[in-house]
Amino acid sequence: MASSEDFKRSVICVRYISHPTSKNKSFIIYKMLSSTQVIIMAGGVGSRFWPMSTPDYPKQFIDVMGVGRSLIQLTVDRLKPICPVKNMWVVTNEKYISIVKEQIPDMPTDNILAEPEARNTAPCIAYACWKILKQHPDANIVVTPSDALVINTTEYQRVLSKALNYTSDKEAIVTIGIKPSRPETGYGYIATADLTDVDEIYKVEAFKEKPDLTTAEYYLSAGNYYWNAGIFVWNIDTISRAIRTFQPKLAAIMDEMVPSFYTDKEKEVVGRLFPTCDNISIDYAVMEKSKVIYTLPAEFGWSDLGSWGSLRTLLPQDEDGNAKVGKDIRLYDCKNCVIHAADEIKVVVQGLDGYIVAEKHGQLLVCELKEEQRIKEFSK
């Protein structure tokens, strides 16, 4: 039941019929159209996906899955039911601004924020939050990467809506924890403590660095460790107060930038001041220091698509375990491969087992899947 405060914030209730995995129960998504804002972080270069992803055109802007939509477009699409595009914000490198405008043409220009240089996620998020604060002082915010994949978008929307409802009227930061399906060593983990008085939402005991295999196996068996998806929910008062408390230098830089926001001086001021921010992640800057951190464990078919191997597991596979993206790819006597090529390219592969074959703009990669951690080195 929505509170009176919810109604003051123009809550609109939309009833969905749940996905089969949510036990065939209907649920309500509260769309706080007057206060919900979404920050999409899109500054990465995706070097592990070379040659498909390059510094000039990284993976968040590419149709990785062969579905006709880039990863950032898919991100926007699945967020639309809980937030209109006019309330979404993209923070990206200056050189990607034109790509964002092309791929999300209905996003207001003021909502596309250019980082003059990469300074990690804390300055990225602070810039967006301070700009939102100037015009939306009652904002309730979702922060998400632009380059992850979500299979069950209905459950994704339910989870985010529940987190937004939780943070709307209290000092709380909610992280989305992904229930692990394997002993993954490539992700950080969130350890949960006690359940709050709200079903599904737990206090966070600790954030854990990427583990070795033995530790990851323990996390999986323990049952209270979740993958850190880098998805956060908070209201604007909570996050601005946290940054002022734990990162006063960063807050001071943002305060100095504020008078230029929404003016023709913004680019010059941000270009001068933003690079002076410390290079620090939001996890180190705020999450590991705050006492009001919670997590909402979820299962909605999430992957950060951090490697060719992870992409292979998400694409349809033939009877020999091969996955492919491209219109004219022909495989003979191949097993456990992932093949990715432009639609206009004909690719014929014979006799490979456990390989990546990827082509883009005349650059070709043929690499064993077990050696894919070296792709960043190969692309130099």
pLDDT class of 34 with cuts at 50, 70, 90: low
Entry pTM: 0.87
pLDDT class of 4 with cuts at 50, 70, 90: very low
Residue 366 pLDDT exceeds 60: yes
How far is residue 313 CA from its own chain's centroid? 19
Q: In the prediction, which pLDDT does 306 show? A: 81
Please choose, from the candidates 363, 255, 369, the residue with its C-alpha nearest in 3D space to the C-alpha of residue 308.
369
- Domain 4-303 grouped into CATH 3.30.2010.10: no
Torsion region of 351: left, alpha or beta (phi above 0 gives left; psi -120 to 50 gives alpha): left
Name the DSSP letter for residue 307.
S
Residue 311 pLDDT exceeds 50: yes
Mean pLDDT value across the chain:
90
Name the phi and psi angles at 237, rounded to 5.
Answer: -65, -45
pLDDT class of 18 with cuts at 50, 70, 90: very low
Please choose, from the candidates 184, 320, 376, 186, the residue with its C-alpha nearest in 3D space to the C-alpha of residue 338.
320
Q: Write out pLDDT tens, residues 237-274.
A: 999 999 999 999 999 999 999 999 999 999 999 999 99
Please choose, from the candidates 33, 284, 277, 30, the residue with its C-alpha nearest in 3D space to the C-alpha of residue 139.
33
Please choose, from the candidates 278, 183, 197, 281, the residue with its C-alpha nearest in 3D space to the C-alpha of residue 232.
281
- Angle at which helices 248-257 and 121-135 cross, to 10°: 50
How far is residue 306 CA from its own chain's centroid? 12
Q: Which tokens sit at 140? A: 């309730």
pLDDT class of 13 with cuts at 50, 70, 90: very low
DSSP string, 155-192: HHHHHHHHHHHHHTTSS-EEEEEEPPSS--SSS-EEEE
Q: In the prediction, which pLDDT does 22 show? A: 44
User: Highest mean pLDDT range out of 20-24, 33-37, 327-331, 358-362?
Assistant: 327-331
Q: Looking at residues 201-223, what average pLDDT do you find?
A: 95
Strands 26-32 and 11-17: antiparallel
pLDDT class of 361 with cuts at 50, 70, 90: confident
Contact 154, 22 (CB under 8 A): yes
Q: How many CB atoms within 10 Å of residue 154?
A: 20
Name the DSSP letter for residue 92.
E
Q: In the prediction, which pLDDT does 29 show? A: 43
For the ranges 25-29, 39-43, 117-121, 325-329, the lowest mean pLDDT is seen at: 25-29
Q: In the prediction, which pLDDT does 169 show? A: 92
Looking at this protein, which amino acid is placed at residue 213? Answer: L
Please choose, from the candidates 35, 37, 32, the residue with its C-alpha nearest in 3D space to the C-alpha of residue 12.
32
The SS3 call for residue 239 is helix
Q: In the prediction, which pLDDT does 32 show? A: 52
Residue 190 pLDDT exceeds 60: yes
Bridge partners of 367, per DSSP, are 356
Residue 16 pLDDT exceeds 60: no
Sign of CA dihedral 202, 153, 168, 250: positive
Quick one: what percent of the chain has pLDDT higher than 70? 91
The H-assigned helical ranges of 49-92 are 71-79
- Domain chopping of the chain, boundaries: 4-303, 311-378
Q: In the prediction, which pLDDT does 343 show? A: 82
Please choose, from the candidates 121, 41, 147, the residue with its C-alpha nearest in 3D space to the C-alpha of residue 88.
41
- CA–CA gap between residue 356 and residue 371 (Å, rounded): 10
Q: Which residue has the higher pLDDT, 369 or 29?
A: 369
Strands 338-340 and 355-360: parallel
Q: In the prediction, which pLDDT does 380 show? A: 78
Q: Which tokens sit at 163? A: 């987190």
- CA–CA gap between residue 273 and residue 295 (Å, rounded): 33
Residue 28 pLDDT exceeds 70: no
Question: Residue 244 to residues 120, 240, 275: CA-CA distances in angstroms?
Answer: 18, 6, 19
Contact 361, 380 (CB under 8 A): no
Q: Write out pLDDT tens, residues 57-78.
A: 999 999 999 899 999 999 999 9
Q: Buried b / exposed e across 184-214, counting CB within 10 Å, b at 16+?
A: beebbbbbbeeeeeeeebbebeebbeebeee
Q: In the prediction, which pLDDT does 161 show? A: 96
Percent of the chain that is helix, strand, coil (3-state, to 5): 35, 30, 35
Residue 14 pLDDT exceeds 90: no
Q: Which residue has the higher pLDDT, 149 or 23?
A: 149
Name the phi and psi angles at 133, rounded to 5.
Answer: -55, -35
